[in-house]
Amino acid sequence: MLNQKFAVVDLETTGNNKNKDSIIQLSIVIVQNLKIVDQYTTFLSDETELTPFIKELTNIETSMLEDAPKFKDIAARVAGLLDGCIFTAHNVEFDFGFLQAAFKACGIDCQPNHLLDTVELSKIFLPRLERFQLNEIAQALGLELSNAHRADEDAKATADLLLHLLRKMISLDTETLKHLYHLSKPLKYNLSDVIFSIVAESGTGGAEGLERHGDFYIKSPKPNVRKMEAVTVGELYENYIAYSGRQYRAEQLRLANEIFEALEQKENLALEAYTGVGKTISFLIAAISFHSLYGRRVLISTSKKILQHQILIEDLAALEEAVGMPIPAVALKGRENYLNLDAFKLLLSLEDTNTEIIQLKMKLLVWLLETDTGDLSEIHLRGPERAYYRTASIQAGENARHFFFNRALSEAEQATFTVTNHYFLTDCIDHLPDIDTVIVDEAHQLKRSLEERTKTTFSYQAMKFFIGQIGTPSQERLLSSYISHNDGTSIYLLEDILKHLNQNIDKMFGAIAAKNTSDLLHHIETGIRHASTFLGAVRGTRNYQVIYNHMHHYQKMLSSLGAAIRQDRYILEGNRNLQKIKVHVQQEDMESLRKRTGHIAATIMLSGTLEVNGGFGHLDYWYGDRPFRSLIIQNENLFGGTKIFIPEDIPSYDVSDDDFVSAIVEYIAIYLSETDQKLMVLFSNFELLDKVHEYTEDVQTFEDFVILRQTRMTTSEKLLSQFNQLDRCVLLGTSSFNEGINMQAQGTKCLMLTKLPFPVPKKSDFRNFYKNDLPEAVFQFRQIAGRVQRRPEDRGLLLLFDKRILDRRYRNSFLKYFPSENVVQGDGESFKALLRDL
């Protein structure tokens, strides 16, 4: 089969409906013997009126189509090109479906023997990828794709991707390929045929560098690194500057020395250092020097995966050059974040026809040959994948092997420093008791992460799913597997208990909806009794452990929920709709967390935004009564290139006020008319977002721009990807874009914010407002401002539809780093003048 021709197809169309929309560009790349041998491309003129969105997305203009053939003119030629080939596409259902509909309209029957989908292949054989849009895969693999959403370039990139995937499959060991072959048989497309031909026709890779675990292989661990030689902060910084070619900055060296001194003296330190000073290199130099001189390890915590990656890959590589030898450093998280090999073995043993479970097993097999860590975040489990794996982990039991976690702990014991995420900071402190010094980067994010870590959420759908995994005798799930090893005496009892447990979930969430605590506690106790009866019925029988572990976990869930209800440690989310109700349970408070971390001698809190309203009192959630020194390394002109404009000719913030909504739309229209550039507008709620979107439909200015609107069903990642690809567009988004956004626009960048990122404080709650709400709002606001000025030379504009920033006591907290002349209030004409100035 590898010697057959692959026809790699891509289409550009006027829409997604194969029965109504038309193909406007078609390209076919022929691949044979692992080489591209031919390509055919043409525009088509069946439809020449294109929407602004299609024009923006594809860069195809009406003039390109006017002299092009219609599909019926080339249909026979296209059918001939496809004849005898393996039809391949990126999302093959779309391209093949469109072509089939077009062929049918021409009276041509085109039925390839084999279909192959590079999206499906990428999900399995590129397990570390998070998103599978062609342009993102091409970027990740270094494949050429300069003009995405043009059929000729997309088809060529898809062909290159196919070749990459085939070569990777050929390189896999025979045992893994055999596993993959058997697993892939139920899949919709013809992957199993390709794998069979690779095993039968091609020499496959061996098992070098792998070690066997039962029926599968994993990558062998790296060898240990030798001990570091002593180096001072000054020496390491000088070497870093010499090797990296970076500019010497006295403030960066001062920052490294301040952190080193705090580590050396076992001193708590709260440190605000302005964005751009080079905080990451500073604290890494301090940690490395501290370890080299005293042999003591440091735990470093930061807020985002991208920062962890930067520390362990980019920055560490530069510092290794500076010291002239490898620096042992590892990432560490909570135990549940590493693949449980017993859970995977159990998952692999179950017979499934569910596509998502099959793909999960296959990508885990491939990933185990590549991963050095076993960290599940590398493979971005989502939705059903996460649920199936979590269920298998529970069924594997509490005594399961935690091979990868234990290996990570062992590596951490040899490391210069260990990097973790704020979310897992207390877990790491628990498992590394000999570490007594911690550096918290992006410290303004820590409290929120710790609160999230100690929260458990119970939902109707999740509990139904969990009980549903036990199944019925006729389903290929836990109960049928258990029955196959035991006689039928207890089957009816177990079925009856499961029926009552399902009804019990309905009753529990009905009581929650009715806010009837006494009924809820009664139903929880009833559920616990049913679970106990089930456990007693299966305990000690043949092959009972998996189903027993599953039900035992459910019983513990009910007990935990009951305890939280009795102790009033819960928050309800949702309405009377059972499907949407959630119960958030706080398992541990901040005081308890402080006790767990009491042996930590020195904690350095570090951020670009840490001081709020003249002090650091909001950090007492971590420090408690322990003394700490504070220091600010500031840059008065941090946001010197960013102007804040507050309209004075609009009503006060009011979602229900049509005049307020109209004013927002008018200012958006002014910006688009004056600049002809893309724009992002952030809202604090969907109600205002939806109203603004509705108003834009009646304003002519918006007809030439693509409006990207966030809904409760769309992800910020997908919208941001579209926003960065398009030139003439407006993105209407929510607070989910506050952090981590990367605006890609030429020249001036503008972002509009409808409201300061906190709720209006209640008079009775001012103390909590200044201690909790205000710091969080200031952090978010500076993050937003940082999106429009990433570098000192950048120039940007933040338009804020919230006049409170000018006349409230907290004004200086928000505007601390903005020169007074950069804060402008005016009307629409003033805004136009400001845009022309920029």
Query: Is the domain defined by 642-837 classed in CATH 3.90.1720.10?
Result: no
In eight-state DSSP terms, residue 413 is: T
pLDDT at res. 234: 95
Residue 78 has pLDDT above 90, yes or no: yes
Residue 32 makes CB contacts below 8 A (sequence gap 6+) with 3, 4, 5, 6
- Range with the poorest average pLDDT among 24-28, 307-311, 524-528: 307-311
Q: Longest C-alpha distance within the chain, in Å?
A: 84
* Bigger pLDDT: 836 vs 294: 294
Residue 791 banded pLDDT, cuts 50, 70, 90: low
pLDDT at res. 740: 46
Kindly list the domain boundaries of the chain, sorted by start residue.
6-206, 230-335+402-453+589-635, 339-398, 457-586, 642-837
Residue 245 banded pLDDT, cuts 50, 70, 90: confident
Closest C-alpha to 524, from 592, 493, 570, 478: 570
- The answer to whether residues 455 and 585 touch, using CB atoms and an 8 Å cutoff, is yes
pLDDT at res. 759: 58
pLDDT per residue over 558-573, tens digit each? Answer: 999 999 999 888 888 8
pLDDT at res. 764: 46
Residue 225 has pLDDT above 70, yes or no: no
pLDDT at res. 765: 52
pLDDT at res. 742: 53
How close are the terminal C-alpha atoms of the chain, in Å? 60
Mean pLDDT across 810-814: 84
Q: What is the pTM of this model?
A: 0.74
- Range with the poorest average pLDDT among 70-84, 519-533, 613-627: 613-627
Residue 226 banded pLDDT, cuts 50, 70, 90: low
Residue 741 has pLDDT above 70, yes or no: no
C-alpha dihedral over 749, 753, 757, 760, to 10 degrees?
A: 160
Report the amino acid identity of residue 823: V
The CATH H-level (homologous superfamily) assignment of domain 230-335+402-453+589-635 is: P-loop containing nucleotide triphosphate hydrolases (3.40.50.300)
State what percent of residues in the chain have pLDDT above 70.
94
* Bigger pLDDT: 727 vs 741: 727
- The answer to whether residues 524 and 501 touch, using CB atoms and an 8 Å cutoff, is no
Mean pLDDT across 687-713: 88
Residue 580 has pLDDT above 60, yes or no: yes
* Bigger pLDDT: 771 vs 34: 34
What fold, for 6-206? Answer: Nucleotidyltransferase; domain 5 (3.30.420)
How is residue 708 written in tokens? 């990207």
Q: How far apart are CA 664 and CA 684, in angstroms?
A: 14
pLDDT per residue over 488-530, tens digit each? Answer: 778 889 999 999 999 999 999 999 988 899 999 999 999 999 9
pLDDT at res. 399: 76
Residue 399 makes CB contacts below 8 A (sequence gap 6+) with none
Residue 130 banded pLDDT, cuts 50, 70, 90: confident
* Bigger pLDDT: 215 vs 95: 95
Mapped onto helix, strand or coil, the DSSP state of residue 294 is helix
Mapped onto helix, strand or coil, the DSSP state of residue 437 is strand
- Range with the poorest average pLDDT among 6-10, 395-399, 583-587, 739-743: 739-743
Report the amino acid identity of residue 315: D
pLDDT at res. 451: 86
Q: Degrees (nearest 5) of the Cα angle 291, 297, 301?
A: 120
Q: Do domains 230-335+402-453+589-635 and 642-837 have the same CATH topology?
A: yes
Residue 469 banded pLDDT, cuts 50, 70, 90: confident
- The answer to whether residues 13 and 97 touch, using CB atoms and an 8 Å cutoff, is no
- Range with the poorest average pLDDT among 22-31, 230-239, 361-370, 759-768: 759-768
The total of other beta-carbon atoms located within 10 Å of residue 560's CB is: 15
E-strand spans in 634-701? 642-647, 679-682
pLDDT at res. 458: 93
pLDDT per residue over 167-177, tens digit each? Answer: 999 999 888 99
Residue 367 makes CB contacts below 8 A (sequence gap 6+) with 127, 128, 378, 379
Q: How far apart are CA 299 and CA 297, in angstroms?
A: 7
pLDDT at res. 768: 63
pLDDT at res. 725: 78
Q: How far apart are CA 189 and CA 481, in angstroms?
A: 29
Residue 17: half-sphere exposure toward Cβ, Cα within 13 Å: 3
Closest C-alpha to 83, from 163, 7, 190: 7
The total of other beta-carbon atoms located within 10 Å of residue 220's CB is: 12
User: What is the second-level CATH architecture of the domain 457-586?
Assistant: Up-down Bundle (1.20)
pLDDT per residue over 248-276, tens digit each? Answer: 989 999 999 999 999 999 999 999 887 77
Closest C-alpha to 132, from 721, 714, 727: 721
State what percent of residues in the chain have pLDDT above 90.
45
Residue 634 has pLDDT above 90, yes or no: no
CA 750 to chain centre: 25
pLDDT per residue over 397-445, tens digit each? Answer: 877 778 999 999 988 888 899 999 999 999 899 999 889 999 999 898 8
pLDDT per residue over 155-198, tens digit each? Answer: 999 999 999 999 999 999 888 999 999 999 999 999 999 999 88
* Bigger pLDDT: 608 vs 422: 422
pLDDT at res. 653: 82
The total of other beta-carbon atoms located within 10 Å of residue 378's CB is: 17
Burial class (CB in 10 A: 0-12, 13-18, 19+), 314: exposed
Residue 792 banded pLDDT, cuts 50, 70, 90: low
Residue 698: half-sphere exposure toward Cβ, Cα within 13 Å: 7
Which single residue is written with the structure tokens 């597997």? 481
